[in-house]
Structure 1
Amino acid sequence: MSIFERYLTVWVALAMVGGVLIGLTTPNLVALVASAEVASVNLVVAILIWAMVYPMMVGVDFGAVVGVARQPKGLIVTLVVNWLIKPFTMALLAVLFFDYFFAPWIQPEDAAQYTAGLILLGAAPCTAMVFVWSQLTKGDATYTLVQVSVNDLIMVVAFAPIVAFLLGVTDISVPWQTLVLATVLYVVLPLIAGLITRRKLGSQAAIDAFSTKVKPWSIMGLVATVVILFGLQGQTFLAQPFVILLIAVPILIQSYGIFALAYGAAYALKVPHRIAAPCAMIGTSNFFELAVAVAISLFGLNSGAALATVVGVLVEVPMMLSLVAFANRTRARFPGPLDTLSGKELQS
């Protein structure tokens, strides 16, 4: 592991501070980046995420996709946690904190807005960044792709009904442009680029060497993404720091709890670590573009619901890096050596 990767948390912390400073000192530059947006997807951030995901896609072996059927436990854990548990526990935590624990500091109408925003986050599992977390935990690229793809298919039909049920709102307009554009930018295009790269490289040795060479660029893309995200939201962070901290509490409890549940279930089911780590990360991370877009369409740009979804963006990267570190430290506790879907031996 290079020094850059070893101290990734430090670089991300510096990127967070740098992003806020950039947002404060060069608001015109931040406004220019913010304007490069289509269907609630920021194209500058999308390009950086694409750069992060691409190295992972180079490792995807389509010939091994059928191997998922031989190792279904990881996929089952992901689907159960994401769709039968996560949305409802997020709603429960939001109500407990904003209607009861934080009631002395938050007005009831604001509490309802924050609860709505957290429900939107809880019903939108990650589409893009999970590829980055999977790569950092040495996850199986092929299995991760299948997990994300199945999640996306379920999200198309399940997101609106779940949100409508939990919010008590029947007229949920799903921003299909956001959903489709994000899927194309974060999954389809990098996957095609990865497949083309694999064909051009030919041998597995050449593919491995290329992946090693481009991996640092993926990490740099992550750090640059953090700078931009915090630059875009720096004003929000400084304008309402106390409210931001209150909203972050149930998000962090939910995220660490969901990770513990999925990771623990994978461990109990003896799922290999290269599958277990990504399967826990998918439910923990969120599809924040979708959540933000729906919050704005339902409640307005300056609503408490939109603010709550933005807080999800702010806390996600540092939180997920802490879970990546934990997953890497506990790798030896999982079964190994075993075969990956691509036939390579896993090292415990």
Structure 2
Amino acid sequence: MSTQNAAVAAPAPGGIGIFEKWLSVWVGLAIIAGLVLGNLLPGTFSWLAGLEYASVNFPVAILIWAMVYPMMVAVDFSSLSHIGDRPKGLILTLVVNWLIKPFTMAALGVLFFEVIFAPFIQPADAQQYIAGLILLGAAPCTAMVFVWSQLVRGDATYTLVQVSVNDIVMVFAFAPIVAILLGVTDISVPWATLILSVVLYVVIPLVAGAATRQWLTRHARRGESADAAVDRFTGAIKPVSIIGLLATVVLLFGFQGHVIVERPLLIVMIAIPLLIQSYGIFAITYAAAWFWRVPFTVAAPCAMIGTSNFFELAVAVAIGLFGLGSGAALATVVGVLVEVPVMLSLVAFANATRTHFPEA
């Protein structure tokens, strides 16, 4: 999950913050607000939808940047010097995230929306929901995994290595994988828009985050470590990121309000393959780590990275490719509702099975 943002490689003791812990509640309230406002003020939402250029909606772009930028500040690419340490965990992360997860998500999307749910959904709508699921499956977690790693007492430095490598791979692999999978499902792929989305929502925030982190480390307060300076900055801008997340959800569900009110079971339909994917990917990664005798402090965060999604990127690309009111955008937002309760249940399971793994 994908979220969010105040979490860093070595968070302060005390466990998950109140925002992260109750993320599904906040998102649920934002969904309700979006549905109400979308039905009460359709003209306002139509005006907001029209504020776009070259498939980029300006209000949503600003909100997405508000979410993504703090995550990128938290990523320390100097951690790549540890890339050779305990390579098994990194190999599992890369294989699951880039060779398994996107393809299983696409397969589940096709199975449910072209076969199982086919009698209840129009074919054109089904393609939209499949596209949204593909975008989620191809976007591995960037920030929230630091929180999950903390909750399972994972190796913070190694988690940072895994996330940093994933971010680099994402720059080059996300667009081709999405294009291939969308093409296989007979969805037209506007390459220019897809590449523009990756540049806007991955490359630019990544560069901005790295530049900000470098500036913060050079201008740390007297007696303050570089990590402490970064923590102070990300903590200060966390409210902006939270507002960006919730406002984006309000907008998306405002645009989708009339559809959801008429078809409330649609959310459940979208959630089912997402749930299967989440628990399935965790099982594959966690079992492989156990079989390969990967230490728990690496194995648990490794499985969490594969299970969680960078939903902010998925939402932004879905909007760019298919529009604010599209089924693809709706599917990516449902991923937020599904993710947090699922991940908390997996944290509990991992902690309960810790003794089955070597500790170092």
Task: Determine what percentage of the aligned residue pairs are the same residue.
Answer: 36
User: CA contact under 8 A between 1:134 and 1:141: conserved in structure 2?
Assistant: no
Q: Give unmatched runs, 5+ long, in structure 2.
A: 1-15, 151-155
Task: Please tell me whether residue 191 in structure 1 is matched to residue 210 in structure 2.
Answer: yes
Structure 1 partner of 2:246: 223
Distance 1:234 1:53 in 2: 25
* 1:2-151 correspondence runs (5 A): 2-106=17-121, 110-111=122-123, 114-115=126-127, 117-118=129-130, 121-122=133-134, 125=137, 127=139, 130-137=141-148, 138=150, 140-151=159-170
Partner amino acid for 1:114? A
Q: What is the CA deviation profile of residues 67-109 of structure 1, one whole-angstrom value per residue up to 9, with x for unaligned ones?
A: 1232443443333234433344334334433444334434xxx
User: CA contact under 8 A between 2:113 and 2:129: conserved in structure 1?
Assistant: no
Structure 2 partner of 1:343: none
> Secondary structure, in 3 states, of the residue corresponding to 1:131?
coil
Distance verdict in 2 for CA 1:98–1:282, change over 3 Å: closer
Q: Give the TM-score taking structure 2 as reference length.
A: 0.72
Partner amino acid for 2:68? V
1:216 is displaced (CA, Å) by: 4.8
> Secondary structure, in 3 states, of the residue corresponding to 2:83?
helix
1:133 is displaced (CA, Å) by: 2.2
Distance 2:109 2:143 in 1: 28
Q: Give the TM-score taking structure 1 as reference length.
A: 0.74
Q: Identify which range, 58-67 or 117-126, moves more after superposition.
A: 117-126
1:266 is displaced (CA, Å) by: 4.5
Distance verdict in 2 for CA 1:192–1:336, change over 3 Å: farther
Partner amino acid for 1:225? T
1:315 is displaced (CA, Å) by: 0.8
User: CA contact under 8 A between 1:20 and 1:233: conserved in structure 2?
Assistant: yes
Distance 2:73 2:35 in 1: 33
1:234 maps to which of 257, 261, 268: 257
User: CA contact under 8 A between 1:288 and 1:313: conserved in structure 2?
Assistant: yes
Q: Give unmatched runs, 5+ long, in structure 1.
A: 339-348
> Secondary structure, in 3 states, of the residue corresponding to 1:130?
coil
Distance 1:264 1:95 in 2: 26
Distance verdict in 2 for CA 1:55–1:263, change over 3 Å: farther
Task: Please tell me whether residue 177 in structure 1 is matched to residue 196 in structure 2.
Answer: yes
RMSD over aligned Cα atoms = 3.7
1:135 is displaced (CA, Å) by: 4.2
Task: Please tell me whether residue 278 in structure 1 is matched to residue 305 in structure 2.
Answer: yes
Distance 1:283 1:77 in 2: 18
Partner amino acid for 1:118? I
Q: Identify which range, 189-198 or 324-333, moves more after superposition.
A: 324-333
Q: What is the CA deviation profile of residues 221-276 of structure 1, one whole-angstrom value per residue up to 9, with x for unaligned ones?
A: 43333223322322332243344543443344334433443354456533254454
Structure 2 partner of 1:290: 317
